[in-house]
């Protein structure tokens, strides 16, 4: 089946072709014709399946006819996080480039002035997080009674974040005759109830979880002691052939510490976590997307739905508490047909969490050895003075420049130090523990 078979306009087909897509993904095949026919829909799918295009594409054709009025958006897309809202708006720009649709983004953490001005002019598409939308609605800056199409995206994450009462209120303000599309990775009872209450005879579409079905992601589990995780991470980043990596941690404080520590070690690293303000998060994400930095340390909520083409590695610095988060995290790699590697660090205490993940994904994550005991553990203070070494990955301009700069400033190490540096204790431990074929990051010496 091709995109042309789905009933989309020629302008959209051109935009899809410009995006380089050859054929629709399963969720797009199942969703687009029904949405074009005006049906309500429940899509059980998560990021990585092509679900955003499955609602953005038909919406563009639906909204092509008709005109917007001041303060009365014609359609509304609700997203749980600012980053997701931002990405959906980028999708609208990409696919809507041959249409003349107006769009506004209502997200917290950025100045309200421009958002209100855009609304005053009238918009075809409003993309919003529930909090900011309710805020503006409460101030009378927005009317929802002209909104004929509603998308509730990532409904289960909305539930986790406590947005369901807001969504119920928003639904009750929209015309009853509207078309409603709800997307969710899972369907817990409160989301089922929500869909029964606010959707009208919806078509139900379910696609396989990309993480379980996605053969493009090579998953590995490394057993490591908690105090050796940083060393193990640096080893991977130095020895593995990586283009760029997202490193996930469960805590915001770890994200902060880890990003600083990697920077001190000469990596072009950045961070994205919930305590940062929106402008900083977007700037950091843009630096990662452009390749200015090639390691992004992230927390789950801040990184939810991050869509960067060609992320080569995901490292779970901590095993996520929620098994679903594992699926979301590793889904940042292996996207759109490209290969990806997902490495998870697990300590002895993580046994139960790993079991829950394996139950969810339906298979065991291959173990690639143990990174303990700490033979030559370095005290944390040593990190600051540590000499960065060249990795095999394609360094970004910054990553390449920094180590050279430092080498000029710092005295050259003694030859025996250099030899010891290449014989990383973590890699040596892994080699001695591992019986099967050597994973590449153990066999390759630093470049």
As a dihedral over the C-alpha atoms of residue 132, residue 133, residue 135, residue 139, rounded to 10 degrees, the angle is 140
In whole angstroms, the minimum distance from the beta carbon of 46 to ligand AMP comes to 7
Q: What are phi and psi of 186, to 5 degrees?
A: -135, 165
Contact in structure between 237 and 312 (CB atoms under 8 Å): no
CB nearer ligand AMP, residue 216 or residue 407: 216
In whole angstroms, the minimum distance from the beta carbon of 194 to ligand AMP comes to 21
Q: Is 51 in the site for ligand AMP (CB under 6 A)?
A: yes
Three-class DSSP category at 312: coil
DSSP-assigned beta bridge partners for residue 127: 77, 105
CB nearer ligand AMP, residue 19 or residue 440: 19
CB nearer ligand AMP, residue 42 or residue 368: 42
Q: Which stretch binds ligand AMP (CB under 6 A): 46-54, 61-69, 216-224, 235-243?
A: 46-54
In whole angstroms, the minimum distance from the beta carbon of 11 to ligand AMP comes to 17
> For the residues of 9-59, what is the DSSP string, one character each?
-HHHHHHHHHTT--S--HHHHHHHHHHHTT--EEEE--TTSSHHHHHHHHH
From the number of C-beta atoms within 10 Å of its C-beta (0-12, 13-18, 19+), residue 211 rates as buried
Q: Is 393 in the site for ligand AMP (CB under 6 A)?
A: no
Contact in structure between 321 and 250 (CB atoms under 8 Å): yes
Closest chain position to ligand AMP (CB): 52
In whole angstroms, the minimum distance from the beta carbon of 264 to ligand AMP comes to 32
As a dihedral over the C-alpha atoms of residue 235, residue 244, residue 368, residue 370, rounded to 10 degrees, the angle is 30
Q: Which stretch binds ligand AMP (CB under 6 A): 45-53, 265-273, 315-323, 372-380?
A: 45-53
DSSP-assigned beta bridge partners for residue 78: 128, 152
Interaction mask 9-28, ligand AMP, x per CB under 6 A: ------------x--xx--x
CB nearer ligand AMP, residue 309 or residue 409: 309
CB nearer ligand AMP, residue 28 or residue 396: 28
Interaction mask 288-317, ligand AMP, x per CB under 6 A: -------------------x-x--------
Q: What are phi and psi of 383, to 5 degrees?
A: -55, -40
Interaction mask 320-359, ligand AMP, x per CB under 6 A: ---------------xx-----------------------
**Residue 327 to residue 161: CA distance in whole angstroms:** 18
Other CB atoms within 10 Å distance of the CB of residue 405: 12
Q: Which of 8, 12, 29, 52 binds ligand AMP (CB under 6 A)?
A: 52
Q: Any idea what DSSP says for residue 178?
A: -
In whole angstroms, the minimum distance from the beta carbon of 331 to ligand AMP comes to 8
Q: Which stretch binds ligand AMP (CB under 6 A): 48-56, 58-66, 96-104, 318-326?
A: 48-56
Binding region for ligand AMP (CB under 6 A): 21, 24-25, 28, 47-53, 307, 309, 335-336
């Amino acid at each position: 089946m091709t995109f042309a078979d789905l009933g989309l306009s020629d302008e959209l087909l051109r935009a899809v072709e410009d995006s380089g897509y050859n054929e629709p993904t399963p969720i797009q095949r199942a969703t687009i014709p029904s949405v074009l026919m005006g049906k309500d829909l429940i899509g059980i799918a998560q990021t990585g399946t092509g679900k955003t295009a499955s609602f953005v594409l038909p919406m563009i054709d639906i909204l092509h006819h008709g005109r917007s009025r001041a303060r009365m958006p014609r359609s509304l897309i609700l997203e749980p996080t600012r980053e997701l809202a931002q990405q959906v708006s980028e999708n609208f720009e990409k696919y809507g480039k041959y249409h003349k649709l107006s769009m506004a983004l209502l997200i917290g953490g950025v100045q309200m002035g421009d958002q209100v001005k855009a609304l005053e002019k009238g918009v075809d598409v409003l993309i919003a997080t529930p909090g900011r939308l309710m805020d503006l609605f409460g101030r009378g800056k927005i009317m929802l009674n002209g909104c004929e199409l509603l998308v509730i995206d990532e409904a289960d994450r909305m539930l986790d974040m406590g947005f369901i009462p807001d969504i119920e209120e928003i639904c009750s303000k929209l015309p009853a005759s509207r078309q409603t599309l709800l997307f969710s990775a899972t369907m817990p009872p409160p989301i089922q109830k929500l869909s029964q209450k606010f959707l009208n005879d919806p078509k139900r579409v379910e696609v396989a979880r990309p993480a379980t079905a996605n053969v493009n992601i090579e998953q590995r589990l490394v057993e490591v002691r908690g105090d050796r995780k940083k060393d193990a991470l640096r080893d991977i980043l130095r020895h593995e052939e990586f283009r760029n990596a997202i490193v996930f941690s469960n805590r915001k404080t770890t994200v902060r510490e880890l990003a600083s520590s990697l920077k001190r070690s000469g990596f072009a690293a950045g961070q994205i976590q919930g305590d940062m303000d929106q402008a900083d998060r977007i700037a950091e994400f843009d630096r990662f997307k452009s390749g200015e930095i090639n390691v992004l340390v992230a927390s789950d909520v801040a990184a939810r739905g991050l869509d960067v083409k060609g992320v080569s590695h995901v490292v779970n610095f901590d095993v996520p508490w929620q098994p679903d988060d594992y699926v979301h995290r590793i889904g940042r790699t292996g996207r759109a047909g490209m290969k990806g590697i997902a490495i998870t660090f697990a300590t002895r205490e993580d046994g139960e969490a790993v079991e829950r993940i394996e139950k969810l994904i339906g298979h065991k994550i291959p173990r690639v050895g143990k990174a303990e005991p700490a033979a030559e553990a370095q005290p944390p203070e040593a990190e600051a003075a540590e000499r960065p070494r060249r990795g095999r990955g394609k360094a970004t301009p910054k990553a390449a420049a920094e180590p050279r700069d430092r080498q000029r400033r710092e005295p050259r190490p003694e030859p025996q130090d250099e030899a010891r540096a290449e014989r990383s204790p973590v890699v040596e431990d892994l080699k001695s523990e591992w019986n099967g074929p050597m994973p590449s990051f153990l066999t390759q010496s630093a470049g």
